[in-house]
C-alpha cells in the first residue's frame, strides 16, 4: 500500500501540516518554560494527535465508498481508527515516560486534536468564489 502524502486528501494534508506547526511551537514554548521534560511532553502530545490523524486519513482514503452509505461507513471507520490509535498512544506515553509533564502533554494533545477538526473548513479544490 502506498502511504505517501498524495494518498491523503488536501484537507487532511493541510491540517496535518497545521498540527505539525502547532506541535513545534508548543514544544519550543514548553521547552523555554518547562525545560527538557516539558518540551518532550509537548512534542509527544502533538505526536499522538498527529499520528492518529495520519492513520485516520489513510483509513478514510482506503475506505472510500461509491454510495452515500459507503462514504458514511468509511468516515465512521476512520474516526474509530483515530480514536483507537489515540487511546493506545496516550496509554503508552503515560505508562512509559515517568518524567512526563502531564498538563503540558495533555494540553498539546488537545490543541492539536482540535486543529484536526478544522479539516472540514479546508477546500478540496480551488473553486471560484461567487
**Residue extents of the structural domains in the chain:** 10-117
**CA–CA separation, 25 and 1 (whole Å):** 32
**CA–CA separation, 91 and 114 (whole Å):** 19
Q: Which three cell numbers stand for residue 108?
A: 498539546
Residue 82 in contact with residue 119, Cβ under 8 Å?
no
Q: What is the pLDDT along the chain (130 residues), one digit of tens a residue?
A: 455 556 777 888 888 999 999 999 999 999 999 999 999 999 999 999 999 999 998 888 887 667 888 878 888 898 999 999 999 999 999 999 999 999 999 999 999 999 988 876 766 665 555 5
**CA–CA separation, 27 and 16 (whole Å):** 16
pTM value is 0.82
Q: At which residue does the C-alpha cell 473548513 appear?
A: 121
Amino acid at each position: 500500500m502506498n502511504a505517501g502524502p498524495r494518498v491523503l486528501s488536501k484537507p487532511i494534508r493541510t491540517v496535518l501540516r497545521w498540527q505539525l506547526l502547532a506541535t513545534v511551537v508548543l514544544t519550543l514554548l514548553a521547552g523555554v518554560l518547562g525545560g527538557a521534560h516539558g518540551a518532550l511532553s509537548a512534542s509527544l502530545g502533538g505526536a499522538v494527535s498527529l499520528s492518529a490523524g495520519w492513520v485516520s486519513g489513510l483509513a478514510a482514503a482506503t475506505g472510500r465508498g461509491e454510495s452515500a452509505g459507503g462514504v458514511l461507513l468509511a468516515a465512521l471507520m476512520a474516526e474509530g481508527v483515530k480514536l483507537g490509535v489515540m487511546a493506545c498512544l496516550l496509554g503508552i506515553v503515560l505508562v512509559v515516560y515517568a518524567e512526563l509533564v502531564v498538563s503540558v502533554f495533555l494540553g498539546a494533545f488537545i490543541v492539536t486534536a482540535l486543529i484536526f477538526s478544522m479539516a472540514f473548513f479546508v477546500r478540496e479544490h480551488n473553486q471560484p468564489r461567487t
